[in-house]
């Protein structure tokens, strides 16, 4: 047997072997890529479900915050007939700030618009109380400030800031529930 025939014999076994190896590599590679993509998609869906749950919890807490600082809800909770106007003003401000600080971490789960709304509501409520308290003698009974705040809230034309905030949060929650993002 000469060298060229030996080379042909070797090639007869080598070429099919290399072809089978290449096809096997391609098939396994495509399978592994598809498997990896399926796993990544499953992980993504799991993370998205968790993220949506966290975001919904954040919206729930912010709704509670807004409701807790609403004058209709907060005043009966903090009012004490032995307080003065200055004491009630300070107590309301401290209550609002305490509630706000407790919920600061929720801003990472909600849109910038919702968080700005939350900050604005906090500021508007504090400013309203401060402006009304300034109209009274600081040593006057807290009942005067209490009554004035409730009168303004009950006689407000349109929605008060806390109602607007609740509507904005609810709108975003509906969007998150239907699209999964904002």
Query: Which residues span the domain enclosing 86?
Result: 3-179
Nearest to 149 by CA among 166, 169, 124: 124
182 three-class SS: coil
> What's the whole-model pTM score?
0.73
Average per-residue pLDDT in the chain?
Answer: 90
Answer yes or no: are the C-beta atoms of 66 and 121 closer than 8 Å: yes
Confidence of residue 182 (pLDDT cuts 50, 70, 90): very low
The model's pLDDT over 119-150, given as tens digits with 9 standing for 90+, comes to 999 999 999 999 999 999 999 999 999 999 99
Number of independent structural domains in the chain: 1
Tens of pLDDT, residue by residue over 67-79, are: 999 999 999 999 9
* Host H or E run for residue 94: helix 85-102
């Amino acid at each position: 047997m000469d060298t060229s025939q030996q080379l042909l014999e070797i090639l007869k076994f080598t070429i099919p072997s290399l072809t089978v190896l290449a096809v096997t590599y391609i098939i396994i590679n495509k399978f592994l890529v598809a498997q990896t993509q399926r796993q990544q998609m499953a992980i993504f869906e799991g993370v998205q479900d968790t993220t949506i749950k966290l975001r919904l919890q954040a919206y729930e807490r912010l709704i509670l915050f807004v409701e807790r600082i609403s004058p209709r809800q907060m005043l009966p909770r903090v009012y004490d007939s032995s307080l003065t106007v200055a004491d009630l003003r300070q107590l309301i401000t401290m209550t609002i700030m305490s509630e706000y600080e407790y919920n600061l971490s929720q801003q990472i789960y909600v849109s910038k618009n919702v968080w700005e709304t939350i900050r604005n509501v906090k500021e508007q409520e504090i400013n309203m109380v401060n402006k009304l308290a300034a109209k009274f003698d600081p040593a006057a009974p807290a009942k005067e400030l209490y009554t004035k705040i409730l009168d303004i809230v009950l006689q407000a034309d349109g929605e008060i800031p806390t109602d607007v905030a609740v509507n904005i949060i609810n709108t975003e929650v509906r969007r998150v529930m239907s699209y999964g993002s904002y």
